Structure 1
Amino acid sequence: MADIRERSPLRPFPEVHGLGLRLTSWDVGSEEHVETWLRGLTDPDFLRWNTPLRLVGDRESARESLRSKVEAAESGTGMTFRITDAASGATLGSISLNELSLALRVTRVGYWVLPEARGHRVAARALALAAHFAFTDLGLHRVELGHALGHDVSCRVAERCGFRYEGTLRGAMFEAGRQDAFRDVHLHARIATDPEPAIPSPSA
């Protein structure tokens, strides 16, 4: 196998298909995409469990936030996919490979799902697709997932997709809505040699 650092797997931005979903790119020039990004990052459930370094509260800040994700893909340090329904093309949420290092063959995944798309295992299906892409197309060895302590839904999604619980990281995440207080994080991970989990279905 060629040295992973000699490849250019992030350009052009890939699409990933399967499990009734299509993972594709976000377009910072699309007002619809910017509005959806704003809606996702201002959703109360998202804000309960996440505190971005730069808060998003209007279209302009949403556009800048989305632009930073596009730039991460261009620099090879991250990939953020728009989760869409394969049949209708409707946007369902977002899933990112953050802190991506092709040299170290590791990344940390994060995701959110729009309120109207919840209850159909969108996050689990998207995570299964993104992990498979990371291990096969990118040649990564380790994919991590961290969530705030108490976020039981995220815990179940991680375990359903074969991300084993590895421990609790003390004070590793901001408290909700604050950048002067911290909370603990559950760390899950999969490595390339772990068995492939059963494919989640929308109705299972």
Structure 2
Amino acid sequence: MPYLVQPHLPPGRLADSAQPVLTAADGLLLRPWRPEDAPVVVAAFSDPAIQHWHLRRADDEDEARDWIGQWRDAWYRETGAHWAVVRPGSADDRVGEVLGRVSLRTLIPQLGQAECSYWVLPAARGRGVAPRAVSALARWALDEIGFERLELSHSVRNAASCRVAEKTGFALEGTRRRSLAHTDGRHDMHLHARLRGDGANG
């Protein structure tokens, strides 16, 4: 059944090239995940805060490597795009110390929209890692690739994520009531969005 409107992004807009390394403010890089990152993924999803807001855990490195493989494959299926947020150890270091993750999920090129998600490891929190990573990802997705709309959703109880959204130009659009189950029950969720052409705050 054909669409009545042209695709916002043509097929292959992402998959026809390798996933790029993106530059964020203050020397951070966003790079594709590597199988060698599995121990970091296990550590991240063992953190109680990440488990609470992201609702999953990784039980061992084999499972984490499977996730990383799925994240890498999603780029070529054009269903998602996932980056490790790293701090390089030198000017030519493209591997770096992993500080967190930022991604586009629920990616729909046909409609030109996707949802941003992110987490930061406990040792790197409070340093502005998430706003810098989300800002870099949003600029790339909206200005370089041509997405029209990026959404960002978080529990109304997650004040830190609300601050990230505000700092990175994602306007609050409303509240989805009892939208997502967490380990302590269903939470109302804030819906933020940033459109191509919107100004960024951070």
- TM-score, normalisation: structure 1: 0.86
- The 1:189–1:3 alpha-carbon spacing in structure 2 relative to 1, beyond 3 Å, is closer
- The 1:18–1:49 alpha-carbon spacing in structure 2 relative to 1, beyond 3 Å, is closer
Is this contact kept in 2: 1:9–1:137, CA < 8 A? no
For residue 59 of structure 1, what is the amino acid of its counterpart? E
For residue 144 of structure 1, what is the amino acid of its counterpart? E
Partner SS for 2:200:
coil
For residue 9 of structure 2, what is the amino acid of its counterpart? I
For residue 23 of structure 1, what is the amino acid of its counterpart? L
Per-residue deviation at 1:74?
1.8
The one of 39, 44, 66 equivalent to 1:40 is 44
Q: d(CA) in 2 for partners of 1:14 and 1:129?
A: 12
Q: Does 1:137 align with 2:141?
A: no
Q: Which residue is 2:20 aligned to? A: 14
Per-residue deviation at 1:86?
3.9
Partner SS for 1:77:
coil
Per-residue deviation at 1:6?
4.7
Per-residue deviation at 1:175?
1.1
Is this contact kept in 2: 1:85–1:92, CA < 8 A? yes
The one of 120, 123, 129 equivalent to 1:113 is 120
The one of 171, 180, 183 equivalent to 1:173 is 180
Please give the root-mean-square deviation of Cα atoms over the aligned residues, in Å: 1.8
For residue 5 of structure 1, what is the amino acid of its counterpart? P
Q: d(CA) in 2 for partners of 1:36 and 1:6?
A: 33
Q: Which residue is 1:82 aligned to? A: 84
Q: d(CA) in 2 for partners of 1:186 and 1:111?
A: 15
Map Cα deviations across residues 86-118 of structure 1 (whole Å, 9 max, x no partner): 455211111010011111000001001111111
Q: d(CA) in 2 for partners of 1:129 and 1:86?
A: 16
Map Cα deviations across residues 159-202 of structure 1 (whole Å, 9 max, x no partner): 011111111112221212x7xx52211111111121232x3xxx
Q: d(CA) in 2 for partners of 1:94 and 1:165?
A: 22
Structure 2: runs of 5+ lacking an equivalent: 1-6, 91-95
Structure 1: runs of 5+ lacking an equivalent: 200-204
Q: Does 1:51 align with 2:58?
A: no
Identity %: 32
Is this contact kept in 2: 1:109–1:145, CA < 8 A? yes
Q: Which residue is 1:147 aligned to? A: 154
Map Cα deviations across residues 6-35 of structure 1 (whole Å, 9 max, x no partner): 54334301111130211011012x2xx000
Number of aligned residues? 189
Q: Which residue is 1:5 aligned to? A: 10
For residue 155 of structure 2, what is the amino acid of its counterpart? A
Per-residue deviation at 1:137?
2.1
Q: Which residue is 1:182 aligned to? A: 186
For residue 69 of structure 1, what is the amino acid of its counterpart? W
